[in-house]
Amino acid sequence: MTEAPQPAFDPRMLEALICPLTHGPLTYDAEQQELVSRSAGLAFPIRGGIPVMLEDEARRLD
């Protein structure tokens, strides 16, 4: 049994999304499937094509 392909994130969503902590811009990292907020130092995961914009779910940037 093969897994269904994951829905892709639509980069046009970046026009409407901002960092929930700093209200700054986000960048899309297609390789990691994350939205990155440099101002907050966080990377928010994208699961099933949907950004998870929760601080508790975000990865800290080095």
What would the pLDDT profile of 9-51 be if each residue is shown by its tens digit? 888 889 999 999 999 999 999 999 999 999 999 999 999 999 9
What residues make up the domain containing 12? Answer: 7-46
pTM for this predicted structure: 0.86
The answer to whether position 2 is within a domain reads: no
The answer to whether position 41 is within a domain reads: yes
Domain count, the chain: 1
Q: What's the gap between Cα 11 and its chain centre?
A: 10
**CA–CA separation, 26 and 13 (whole Å):** 10
